[in-house]
Amino acid sequence: MSESAKKEFTLQVRVYYEDTDAGGVVYHSNYLNFMERARTEWLRHIGFEQHTLIEQDGILFAVRKVSIDYHKPALFNELLDVKTHIADQHKASLIFAQIISNQSEEIICKAEIKIACLNCKTMKPEPIPETIISELK
């Protein structure tokens, strides 16, 4: 797998009725759900399952900080691209840049999301396992 394939990932998401408000517009917090799915699928794409990291490595990833800008509403039944890439990497955290766009390539929203690696028992920061770091190099 190439370096860019490991650090960049796109997930397509269909907007369902349950994702929208009464006007058929995606409810603002659902964009974060779409981004969460994309980060989970990115992790799976590079060879890691979250439940395995919890059970075998004793770690989990948790959102530490979110900054999001909304540009245009997404609507019921639209197909969206959730683009995810690592913007920065630290000892115990990753910063993801995520962009959601529609099929016309119009930007719906952009976010920067800091994810912390935590020890499952103590819930304190812990270095990202070397197995994951090596996949990112």
Using only C-alpha atoms, the chain has a radius of gyration, in whole angstroms, of 16
pLDDT value, residue 2:
52
User: Is-contact 93 64, C-beta < 8 A?
Assistant: yes
Give the CATH number for residue 120.
3.10.129.10
For the entire predicted model, the pTM comes to 0.92
User: Is-contact 116 61, C-beta < 8 A?
Assistant: yes
pLDDT value, residue 98:
98
Count up the domains in the chain and report the number. 1
Catalytic residue status for 21:
yes
* Residue pLDDT tens, the chain, 137 long: 555 545 789 999 999 999 999 999 999 999 999 999 999 999 999 999 999 999 999 999 999 999 999 999 999 999 999 999 999 999 999 999 999 999 999 999 999 999 999 999 999 999 999 999 998 87
- Which domain does 89 fall in, by range? 3-136
Please state, as a whole number, how many other Cβ atoms lie within 10 Å of the Cβ of residue 23.
8
Exactly one of 21, 57, 69, 81 is catalytic; name it.
21
Instruction: Give the number of residues written for the chain.
Output: 137
